[in-house]
């Protein structure tokens, strides 16, 4: 071996040791840097033709374990998804407050029941009537606050999705840029670990936003896909697009990937974890289910109280009664069976006229004067005309009117009370005459509180020409496959076009309707129209501009086919304004319709109406499915408790899922760190080795130099 070869061997050793010391120093300096992956040096012999040439630095690589990294990405996505859901659902549950606290919805409801018990002891007390009304007002105010809170959380989650998409786009762009830098650096043979560490930190953060799978490229850099297969970073970064909607009860858009290509691709079904997936779950499923349950409870409570209140009366009986917005038209079939009784009192509260309504025969029979009034035509207008005549003939006289979907009755200088017949009560779609029209409601809403409207399939649908119902259809991958607009035009705008015609148009196949994606059907008992999506499709309402005559009520509002008609019941239900303004109108007594003409209809001390309201607390009722609450038969008291329990259960389940996901994530992170992180003892040991190696290489060079000097002094060249 020549002296020059020895010199080259020493120099290669110096360079290798110097590089190694730099790598070790970098590791030590970043020992406490989160996400830093230890760099490792790979050395190999430098072989020259016929002899050894020393040592060469083959590569500087990161001590990354792709299997542990993948496990960490999966665990990170699951943990972030669970954390997002747990945060939102915990805050939703907190909105209910402490069930044992004095200000919670449940406490306010208990206060109302207690006020009714106190009112039963002295039904003539104006103070106790006021307490009962104010307690119910406070309860519904608390329900409204909770409903508003849930809607604000839905809006917040939607905005956080938009923020997450923006952050993910930024991360993907930076990862893509680093792919180019890493590839160029490796092609020149330089150390790319610094850029790779920066890129790895970006991937770690991206894995929290959405579940990712990372594949390393031979030339350097990475390709990233979601678990569902969507390519996020390849040769370039994918482009994501999402527009949030800050409206209550909104139909939310979807996260579109690569919209610039014109492909309507929804990224959401390709996400199986990550913060964005958790937010979508909370926004679209968890929170709406709670809002539906809250709205259902508020409506069921109000409907039960209205049932009792409509069969009772204040003392003295009120001189006028104005019903609820029914969404009905005067030309609709009356649709009642059974019997109901209207009592008219004079100024002294004595029964002056009794009107017996027989819906089966289509007659109203008066006793003073004795007369029979027919509504044989069978429409609401026919009935109101007969009722108006019967009231006008009474002494004191009265009148009836049906305008814009609202029935009203009044008596001049007297009172009016309505009661179900004891043996053959009136009924339309499950509710009695006064209850259905809401003549003496204690709880009210500007739009229908319940959706069993009783309009028969053969009745004219009554929606004004020009109105439109627009639906959007998505497939199982969330892609928008079409939209359908059903317009009140053509045959549907023709006089006499019926509900059957409208439902048939909605169910039409092809571009005309939604028959290819689901089925609309009308319940034979209640006439409510419902929709069932076909397998693999999701149908969402975008717009409904229909109006039924002069009622202002749309098709979806009348049938409860939108969040604004169902979830909103948890926000806009309240104590009837006339009762809230005048608590003396609280129906605390029950009229005795069997008395003789001239006898007193209702006594001021009668507490049977208050008792009937209180009895609703413990009366078994059938409750329809409402969001998170399944269909069940129970009492209002237990239904309220189950609502609170369901809110607590959903939150508790989310918290447990978060704790479990965090434990898995911590275990995966610890296992990954044990392999990839810096061990100070190992690095200090390596530093000692490389320092000695450096010194040894320097001594080789020094020895070769001295040998050269000796040879030169001997004249040997």
Convert the pLDDT of each residue in 188-226 to its tens digit.
877 787 888 888 889 999 999 999 999 988 888 899 999
Judge whether 189 lies within some domain: no
Residues 6 or more apart whose CB falls under 8 angstroms from that of 286 comprise 85, 88, 89, 92, 650, 654
Helix/strand/coil for 245: coil
Domain boundary among 502, 531, 559: 559
- Residue 42 has a pLDDT of 73
Determine the number of helices (DSSP H) and then strands (DSSP E) in the chain.
17, 24
Backbone angles phi, psi at 691, to 5 degrees: -65, -45
Strand boundaries in 72-145, DSSP class E: none
Q: Which of 640, 654, 659 is nearest to 96 (CA)?
A: 640
Whether residues 511 and 597 fall in one domain: no
User: Bridge partners of 169?
Assistant: none
Helix/strand/coil for 192: coil
Give the H or E element holding residue 224. Answer: strand 222-226
Judge whether 510 lies within some domain: yes
Evaluate whether 69 touches 213 at the Cβ level (below 8 Å).
Answer: no
Bridge-based pairing of strands 574-575 and 212-216 is: unpaired
Domain that holds residue 409: 119-147+294-448+570-605
Whether residues 372 and 428 fall in one domain: yes
Domain boundary among 503, 538, 559: 559
Whether residues 301 and 356 fall in one domain: yes
Evaluate whether 282 touches 85 at the Cβ level (below 8 Å).
Answer: yes
Whether residues 326 and 443 fall in one domain: yes
Q: Which of 679, 400, 451 is nearest to 554 (CA)?
A: 451
Q: Which of 167, 181, 107 is nearest to 138 (CA)?
A: 107
Cα 553 to Cα 120: distance, rounded to the nearest angstrom: 38
Q: Which conformational region is residue 362 in: left (phi greater than 0), alpha (psi within -120 to 50 degrees), or beta?
A: left
Whether residues 592 and 543 fall in one domain: no
Whether residues 336 and 421 fall in one domain: yes
Cα 504 to Cα 250: distance, rounded to the nearest angstrom: 27
Whether residues 707 and 576 fall in one domain: no
Residues 6 or more apart whose CB falls under 8 angstroms from that of 550 comprise 403, 404, 405
C-beta neighbour count of 364 within 10 angstroms: 23
Whether residues 302 and 335 fall in one domain: yes
Cis peptide before 686 (omega within 30 of 0): no
Judge whether 550 lies within some domain: yes
- Residue 501 has a pLDDT of 95
Judge whether 199 lies within some domain: no
The tokens of 592 are what? 């005795």
- Specify the residue for token string 């079904």: 269
Q: Which conformational region is residue 496 in: left (phi greater than 0), alpha (psi within -120 to 50 degrees), or beta?
A: left
Evaluate whether 511 touches 445 at the Cβ level (below 8 Å).
Answer: no
Helix/strand/coil for 62: strand
- Residue 395 has a pLDDT of 94
Write down how long the chain is: 717
Whether residues 487 and 396 fall in one domain: no
Which residue numbers in the chain have pLDDT < 50? none
Judge whether 664 lies within some domain: no
- Residue 165 has a pLDDT of 97
Whether residues 549 and 576 fall in one domain: no
Evaluate whether 619 touches 636 at the Cβ level (below 8 Å).
Answer: yes
Cα 193 to Cα 678: distance, rounded to the nearest angstrom: 14
Evaluate whether 109 touches 159 at the Cβ level (below 8 Å).
Answer: no
The tokens of 490 are what? 């053509």
- Residue 717 has a pLDDT of 58
Judge whether 624 lies within some domain: no
Judge whether 246 lies within some domain: no
- Residue 167 has a pLDDT of 96
- Residue 14 has a pLDDT of 78
- C-alpha dihedral sign at 436, 440, 442, 445: positive
- Residue 59 has a pLDDT of 67
Whether residues 552 and 597 fall in one domain: no
Whether residues 514 and 439 fall in one domain: no
Domain count, the chain: 3
The tokens of 667 are what? 């275990």
Helices (H), 455-541: 499-506
Prediction pTM value: 0.89
> What's the burial of 710, exposed, middle or buried (CB within 10 Å: 0-12/13-18/19+)?
exposed
Backbone angles phi, psi at 373, to 5 degrees: -120, 125
The tokens of 101 are what? 């606290």
Judge whether 42 lies within some domain: yes
Residues 6 or more apart whose CB falls under 8 angstroms from that of 251 comprise 245, 472, 540, 541, 542
């Amino acid at each position: 071996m020549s002296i020059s070869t020895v010199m080259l061997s020493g120099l290669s050793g110096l360079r290798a040791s110097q590089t190694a010391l730099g790598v070790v120093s970098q590791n030590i300096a970043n020992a406490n840097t989160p996400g830093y992956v230890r760099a490792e040096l790979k050395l190999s012999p430098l072989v020259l033709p016929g002899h050894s040439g020393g040592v060469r630095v083959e590569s500087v690589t990161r001590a990354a374990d792709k299997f542990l990294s993948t496990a960490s990405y999966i665990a990170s996505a699951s943990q972030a998804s669970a954390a997002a859901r747990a945060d939102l659902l915990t805050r939703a549950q907190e909105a209910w407050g402490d069930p044992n606290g004095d200000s919670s919805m449940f406490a306010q409801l208990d206060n109302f029941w207690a006020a009714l018990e106190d009112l039963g002891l002295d039904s003539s007390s104006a103070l106790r009537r006021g307490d009962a009304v104010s307690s119910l007002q406070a309860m519904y105010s608390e329900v409204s606050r909770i409903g508003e809170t849930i809607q604000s959380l839905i809006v917040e989650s939607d905005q956080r999705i938009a923020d997450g998409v923006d952050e993910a786009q930024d991360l993907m762009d930076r990862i893509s840029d680093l792919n180019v830098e890493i590839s160029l650096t490796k092609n020149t043979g330089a150390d790319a670990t610094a850029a790779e560490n920066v890129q790895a930190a970006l991937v770690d953060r991206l894995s929290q936003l959405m579940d990712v799978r990372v594949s390393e490229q031979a030339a350097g850099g990475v390709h990233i896909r979601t678990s569902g297969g969507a390519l996020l970073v390849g040769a370039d970064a994918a482009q994501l697009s999402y527009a949030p909607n800050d409206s209550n009860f909104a139909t939310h858009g979807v996260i579109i990937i690569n919209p610039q290509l014109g492909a309507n691709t929804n990224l959401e079904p390709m996400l199986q974890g990550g913060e964005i997936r958790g937010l979508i779950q909370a926004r679209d499923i968890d929170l709406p289910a709670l809002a539906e349950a809250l709205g259902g409870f508020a409506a069921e409570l109000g409907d039960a109280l209205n049932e009792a209140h409509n069969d009772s009366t204040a003392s003295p009986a009120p001189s006028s009664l104005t019903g609820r917005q029914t969404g009905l038209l005067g030309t609709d079939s009356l649709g009642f069976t059974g019997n109901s009784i209207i009592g008219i009192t004079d100024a002294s509260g004595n029964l002056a006229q009794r009107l017996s309504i027989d819906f089966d025969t289509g007659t109203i029979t008066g006793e003073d004067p004795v007369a029979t009034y027919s509504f044989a035509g069978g429409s609401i207008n026919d009935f109101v005309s007969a009722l108006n005549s019967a009231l006008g003939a009474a002494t004191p006289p009265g009148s009836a009117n049906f305008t814009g979907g609202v029935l009203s009755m009044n008596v001049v200088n007297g009172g009016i009370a309505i009661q179900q017949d004891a043996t053959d009560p009136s009924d339309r779609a499950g509710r009695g005459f006064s209850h259905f029209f809401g003549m003496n409601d204690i709880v009210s809403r500007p739009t229908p509180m319940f959706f069993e409207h009783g309009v028969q399939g053969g009745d004219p649908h009554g929606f004004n020409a020009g109105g439109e119902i627009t639906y959007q259809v998505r497939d199982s991958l969330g892609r928008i496959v079409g939209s359908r607009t059903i317009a009140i035009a053509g045959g549907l705008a023709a006089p006499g076009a019926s509900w059957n015609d409208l439902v048939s148009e909605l169910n039409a196949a092809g571009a005309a309707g939604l028959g290819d994606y689901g089925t609309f059907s009308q319940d034979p008992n209640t006439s409510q129209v419902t929709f069932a999506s076909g397998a693999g499709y999701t149908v969402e309402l975008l717009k409904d501009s229909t109006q039924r005559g002069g009622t202002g009520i749309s098709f979806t509002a009348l049938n409860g086919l939108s969040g604004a008609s169902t979830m909103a019941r948890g926000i806009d239900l309240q104590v009837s304004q006339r009762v809230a303004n005048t608590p003396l109108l609280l129906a605390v007594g029950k009229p005795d319709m069997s008395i003789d003409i001239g006898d007193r209809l209702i006594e001021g001390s009668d507490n049977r109406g208050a008792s009937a309201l209180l009895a609703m607390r413990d009366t078994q009722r059938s409750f329809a499915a409402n969001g998170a609450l399944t269909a069940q038969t129970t009492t209002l008291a237990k239904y309220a408790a189950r609502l609170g329990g369901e809110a607590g259960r959903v939150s508790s389940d989310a918290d447990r899922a978060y704790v479990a996901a965090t434990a898995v994530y911590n275990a995966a992170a610890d296992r990954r760190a044990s392999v990839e992180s810096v061990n100070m003892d190992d690095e200090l040991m390596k530093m000692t080795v490389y320092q000695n190696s450096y010194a040894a290489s320097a001594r080789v060079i020094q020895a070769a130099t001295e040998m050269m000097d000796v040879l030169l002094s001997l004249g040997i060249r």
